Amino acid sequence: MKEIKRAVDDRLPKWLHSKILSAVDYIWSVKSDDNETMKRVSQVSQVLDGEQMCWVMMLLTLPKLNAMIMQGEEYKKFADMRRTIN
């Protein structure tokens, strides 16, 4: 990965740093191929430090986490409450 310093990197939270988002994109683009995904995770882990790698892995799991939350009872109660307000 080629590092490019972006002007927004100084203003955004570290988990939205262009280096992190580029790594997420690099891994996400092969998500349907488990072997290639693991290869890319390994490659990225050689470039990023532990905290940065943690942010990458957390961002990659957000869709699954979102699905789990939306199936939970608290979310269903919240959605029902929103429907009654509107």
Question: What is the model's pTM?
Answer: 0.78
Q: Which of 2-6, 9-13, 43-47 has the lowest mean pLDDT?
A: 2-6
pLDDT surpasses 90 at 80? no
Q: What pLDDT, on the 0 to 100 scale, is given for residue 11? A: 86
pLDDT digits (tens, 9 = 90+) for 19-46: 999 999 999 999 999 999 999 999 999 9
Q: What pLDDT, on the 0 to 100 scale, is given for residue 83? A: 81
pLDDT surpasses 90 at 4? no
A 10 A CB-CB count for 19 gives 20
Q: Which residue from 75, 41, 45, 42 is spatially nearest to 61, judged by alpha carbons? A: 41
